[in-house]
Amino acid sequence: MPHYFDAAHRQQIEILRQRFTARTEWPTWLLLIGVYGGWFAIVLNSQWLGRGLSTLLLIPLLVLWLSVQHELLHGHPTRWTLLNKILGYAPFAVWYPYTLYRDSHLLHHRDEDLTVPGVDPESRYLTRAGWQGSSLFERSLYWLNKTVLGRFALGAPLALLALAGEELQRLKNGERQAWLMWLTHGAFTLLMLGFIARFSVLPVWHYLLLISVPALSVAMIRSYYEHRPHAQPEQRTVLNEAGWPWRWLFLNLNFHLVHHDLPKLAWYDLPTVYRMHREQWIARSGGFLVQGYGEFWQRNVFRPIDSPEHPFH
C-alpha cells in the first residue's frame, strides 16, 4: 500500500508518472541494453582486456544487474510480469533464480513484518530461541556478519549456504515449483558458463568464485543496515544519503524508506521524491538517517552495528 504525506504529495507523484520519462521508461530500457551489451562486450573481448581488467569490469556490472533485476520485479520497464521476467532471467549473477528473488522480495515488502525472523525473508536477525540454541561458533559468525568487514567477507558465503539449505529442503520435499525453477535456472546458467568457456579467457571457476561471489558481496553492502528492529514499521527502514557511485550501482535504493513507501516508483524518480519532502521523510523514519555508506566503514568496520538477536521476537 503506497504511503503519501497528503493529497498534494500524491498529486506530485502522479505528475511524475505522467512525464515522458515515466511513460516510456527509457532510462530502464537503456540500463537493460547497457548491462546486456556490456556483459557480452567484456566477455567477448576478455582476451584483449585481460583477465584482471575483465574481472574488475564485470564485478560492478553484476552488482548493477542485481539492481536492474530488482527494478524489473517491481514492474519496470513494462506492465507485463512475464515480459519483465524474460528480460531479467539472464543468470549473469549466477546464484539466485529471478523467480526466487522476485517472490521472496515481494514478501519482504510487507512492512509490518520487516526484520521479523522467519517471516521477513530478508531478515538478518535471529529469534530469541534461535539465538539461545546456536553454538559459540555460529554466534561468532553472526556477530562478525554485523560488522562491515564481516558482511563484505562473509555475507555472500553465509547467504549462499542459507540459500542452499532452504532450497535443497524444498527439492527434497518434492516441490514442483522449486524443481522447475532450479532446472530452468540451471540450464540457462550452464549455457552461460559454456559461452564463457568457449568465447572468453575467463575460466568457469574464475567467473563463479572471483566475479559472481565478489559482486554479491558488494551488493550486500547496500543491505548491511537497510532495516532495523523498531516498534513502528515505518521507522524500520533507512534513508541513506549516499554518493553517486553507490547510488548508480544500487539504482537509488539507498533512499530505502521512499522505495518501501512507494514501491512502484521507478529508480530514477526516487531522489526527486526524496528531495521534495526530505524533512518529512526523515521525521517519518524516526531519524533513521545515514550520511552515506562511508559512515558504516568509519563506525562499524570492526564493530557490530547491533545485535544479531531480534529484541522483540
Sequence letter at residue 224: Y
> Would you give the distance in Å from CA 81 to the centre of its chain?
19
Distance of CA 10 to the CA centre of its chain: 27
- How far is 285 from 257, CA to CA, in rounded Å? 7
Q: What DSSP element (H or E) covers 299? A: helix 294-300
Helix (H, G, I), strand (E, B) or coil at 277: coil
Classify residue 146 as exposed, middle or buried by CB count within 10 Å of its CB (0-12, 13-18, 19+): buried
pLDDT score of 313: 85
**How crowded is the C-beta side of 68, counted as CA atoms within 13 Å?**
28
In this predicted structure, what is the pLDDT of residue 254? 98
pLDDT number for residue 267? 98
How confident is the model at residue 2, as a pLDDT? 86
CA distance 187 to 95: 13
Q: What pLDDT sits at residue 214?
A: 98
Please report the pLDDT score of residue 187 as a whole number. Answer: 98
- 10-residue block means of pLDDT along the chain (313 residues)? 88 94 97 98 97 98 98 97 98 97 94 94 95 95 96 94 95 96 98 98 98 97 95 96 95 98 96 96 97 95 96 90
Check if the beta carbon of residue 239 is closer than 8 Å to that of residue 280.
no
The Cα–Cα gap between 19 and 74 comes to: 19
* 239-240 and 289-290 beta bridge pairing: parallel
Joined together, the cell numbers standing for residue 12 give: 506530485
From residue 144, alpha-carbon distances to 24, 26, 123, 211 in Å are 44, 41, 16, 23
Residue 102, all three cell numbers: 522476485
C-alpha cell at 53: 581488467
Which amino acid makes up residue 240? N
Query: Taking Cα atoms as reference points, which of 154, 151, 156 lies closest to residue 96?
Result: 156
